[in-house]
Amino acid sequence: MKTAAPEDMRTRDQVARAILESGPSTAVALADRLKLTPAGIRRHLDQLVADGILEEREPHIRSARTRGRPSKVFVMSDSGRERFEHSYDDLAVSALKYIAANSGEHLVTGFARHRAEEIVKRSQSVVGKAKNPIDGLAEFLSDEGYAANTHAHGIGIELCQHHCPIAHVAAEFPQLCEEETAAFSKILGTHVQRLATIAHGDGVCTTFIPQLLKSKSSNTSNTKRKLSTR
């Protein structure tokens, strides 16, 4: 079996980490971002797929304007996440299964709620220092190993988590995702909607946040101005 050259291994690592950090991507986008030739990026992607690090999928969104077949996207596989970040904690899954079977599902929900409360508490210092609470939450999540970022989407903001250290546990116990979403809502002071999760097979955890934060702050400022002029 032929061993890959060190330079190829480094480039392959860069390609995989680019997807881990930025989420699903096409070969063209990756080649442009990493300054690689189309042939070069395809060679590395094919090998990463063969190694089980990446998976090739059909894009979720198809544009009516796009002619021909849409480009497939590459996403990090479960084994890829395990290799690049956290290993699966089978003990946690076994423990929660035992608790659910012997003491009741309500204790698992209670644990998920307790974990969410801890997220709210530990995020306060980071979110409080940020100019924008949503960016602060993304920074906190990245520090926790979730590789999070944000981008504008329609009338709101999408918070994307490109990695989930507990994805295998959350796949067994969706209460963890549900309570985590509730924690985000509490941290930001507005309703949020979870659109996708890695635990359910999506390439990235996506949470939609309506642009209510700015309007709330502006309304508060306007109220203060009106009161001061009276």
DSSP code per residue over 47-103: HHHHTTSEEEE--S---TT--SSPPPEEEE-HHHHHHHS----HHHHHHHHHHHHHT
- Count CB-CB contacts under 10 A for residue 225: 9
Res 176: pLDDT: 95
Closest Cα partner for 214 from 188, 193, 195?
Answer: 188
Q: What is the mean pLDDT of the chain?
A: 82
Q: Tens of pLDDT along 38-69?
A: 899 999 999 999 999 999 988 755 444 445 55
pTM of the model: 0.62
Domains and CATH numbers, the chain: 6-84 (1.10.10.10), 90-216 (3.30.1380)
Res 129: pLDDT: 93
Res 215: pLDDT: 42
Phi, psi of 74 (to 5 degrees): -110, 135
* Averaged pLDDT for residues 183-193: 96
* Averaged pLDDT for residues 70-75: 83
